[in-house]
Structure 1
Amino acid sequence: MRLSISHDTTYHYEDQVRASIQYLRLTPHDSERQHVLSWQLDLPRPVRAQVDPFGNILHVLTLDEPHDAIIIGARGVVEIDELREAEHESQSAFPFLRSTRLTEPDDALRGFAGQHCHQRRDRTALIDLMHALNHTMVYTPGATDVDTCAAQAFAGAAGVCQDHTHAFLACARSLGIPARYVSGYLYTEDST
């Protein structure tokens, strides 16, 4: 499948800011499952690509002059091998076993993970866990904010995509399964 992607982000500030730094992880890389046919960033000034410790392509945009808006664009074409379901990682999985402030499991999350996965640690168990979390935590915009941790969202039985992700990461890591947060685009048949 060939995907044409056009992504624009605009930041508007109420007052001028003197300077800003943006860490941009908007550039996909080639992998076993995807091939980047073309890609460009439209930015207010030139930047250089680098690779962060997790293998992501990173650009650092530094604006040293006063501004009240920033417009960031990313465009390109990516080809996806729909038949390849998984990719093989060359990096160590150890960083993805570590909890963060947002993904620290409490007893409730550990118990939930154990109840839904038992001794299973395969893909099917993780899919079952994902569905169980989705059923338990109702998608509710405004129920949480960016600082809400997995345990709080789980206790409130509501949240948005990031809360479901944080709860899933907390559960998987509590079972000894490396898991990481990956963002991107979701293609659906009715997408334009």
Structure 2
Amino acid sequence: MQLWIRHETAYAYTAPQAYSIQQLHLTPRVEAQQHVLSWQLSAAGQMHGYTDAYGNLSHMLTLNAPHQALTIVASGAVETTAPPGGRIAGNDTLPPMVYTMPTRLTAVTPEITHLAAGCAAGAVPTTNDCMQLAACIAGAVHYQSGSTAVGTTAGAALALGAGVCQDHAHVFLACCHVNGWPARYVSGYIDPGNTGHAASHAWVDVWADDGSDVGWVSVDVTHVRLMTDAYCRLAVGRDYDSAAPVRGIRRGGGDETMAASVQVAQQ
């Protein structure tokens, strides 16, 4: 499948600011199941490309001239194939156990421990175990756009009983931490079809053992399904904070407003 993608992030400030720096995870990862046909990043300022500790193609954007607005646009075409059984063939340099450490967003609460005990068991998960856990979480945290924010923790989303794909991923990761399962956050895009969900998406990779196959299995918790060729992967990390498409800091500028627009379509 060929996906055409356009992602625009626009910031506006109530007063001029002198300096801003943004970390961008807006370039598709180099992986066997996706091939970039064309890709472009555009924004005012200086952009420096690098590969981060998780193997993500990243950029540091610095703007040190006075400005009251900033627009970042990523666009291009990616050819994707469906990974068999959701299995991601990667060239990771980090061992899976790196992804067993809780973070602020995936901290374990008593409620998460209870959920994990009822929905997941075993020292090493199978793909079926992962899907069973995804189904439990999708039932416990109903999809509701606008119900949470980027700083919402897994425990808070579970207590609320509502959230978005990012929250589903965080609750899943927290449950995996209870059992010691290596699991990581994935940010990227999805062709939403007629689901009514956003084209910007988040899901998880879990280190699963199915006997003849051992490795990362990519699970869309929100839709309770394995990753298909409708997905494009941008970045992986321990949680949203380490894999967010855009994160930054600034000096001055007063109040900030941010608007993001993502379009994904089959070519």
**TM-score, normalised to structure 2's length?**
0.67
- Which of 134, 139, 142 aligns to 2:138? It is 134
Change (3 A) 1:20 1:55: same
- 8 A Cα contact 2:107 2:174, kept in partner: yes
SS at match of 2:189: coil
Change (3 A) 1:142 1:62: same
Identity rate, percent: 38
Deviation track 1:87-137 (CA, whole Å, cap 9, x = no partner) reads: 134231122110001101112212211211233711111111111111111
Q: 4+ residue runs of structure 1 moved beyond 6 angstroms?
A: none
- Which of 107, 110, 132 aligns to 2:110? It is 107
What corresponds to 1:87 in structure 2? Answer: 88
Kindly indicate whether residue 10 of structure 2 is the aligned counterpart of residue 47 of structure 1. no
- What amino acid is aligned across from residue 143 of structure 2 in structure 1? Y
Residues 19-30 of structure 1 aligned to structure 2 (within 5 Å): 19-30=19-30
- 8 A Cα contact 2:41 2:72, kept in partner: yes
- 8 A Cα contact 2:24 2:59, kept in partner: yes
What corresponds to 1:13 in structure 2? Answer: 13
**More strand, by proportion:** 2
Deviation track 1:64-108 (CA, whole Å, cap 9, x = no partner) reads: 111111111111111111254321342311221100011011122
- 8 A Cα contact 1:45 1:61, kept in partner: yes
- What amino acid is aligned across from residue 88 of structure 2 in structure 1? E
What corresponds to 2:57 in structure 1? Answer: 57
Deviation track 1:17-76 (CA, whole Å, cap 9, x = no partner) reads: 111001011011321111111111112134231001111111111111111111111111
Paired with 1:3 and 1:181, the residues of 2 have a C-alpha distance of 22
- 8 A Cα contact 1:96 1:178, kept in partner: yes
- What amino acid is aligned across from residue 147 of structure 1 in structure 2? G
Q: Give aligned pairs, total.
A: 192
- What amino acid is aligned across from residue 108 of structure 2 in structure 1? P
State the superposition RMSD in angstroms: 1.8
- 8 A Cα contact 2:46 2:63, kept in partner: no
Kindly indicate whether residue 162 of structure 2 is the aligned counterpart of residue 179 of structure 1. no
Paired with 1:46 and 1:145, the residues of 2 have a C-alpha distance of 29
Looking at both structures, which has the greater relative contact order when contacts are Cα pairs under 8 Å and sequence separation is at least 6?
Answer: 2
What corresponds to 2:70 in structure 1? Answer: 70
Q: Which runs of 5 or more residues in structure 1 are unaligned?
A: none
Q: CA deviation at 1:142?
A: 4.2
Paired with 2:138 and 2:35, the residues of 1 have a C-alpha distance of 31
Kindly indicate whether residue 157 of structure 2 is the aligned counterpart of residue 157 of structure 1. no
Larger Rg computed on CA atoms: 1
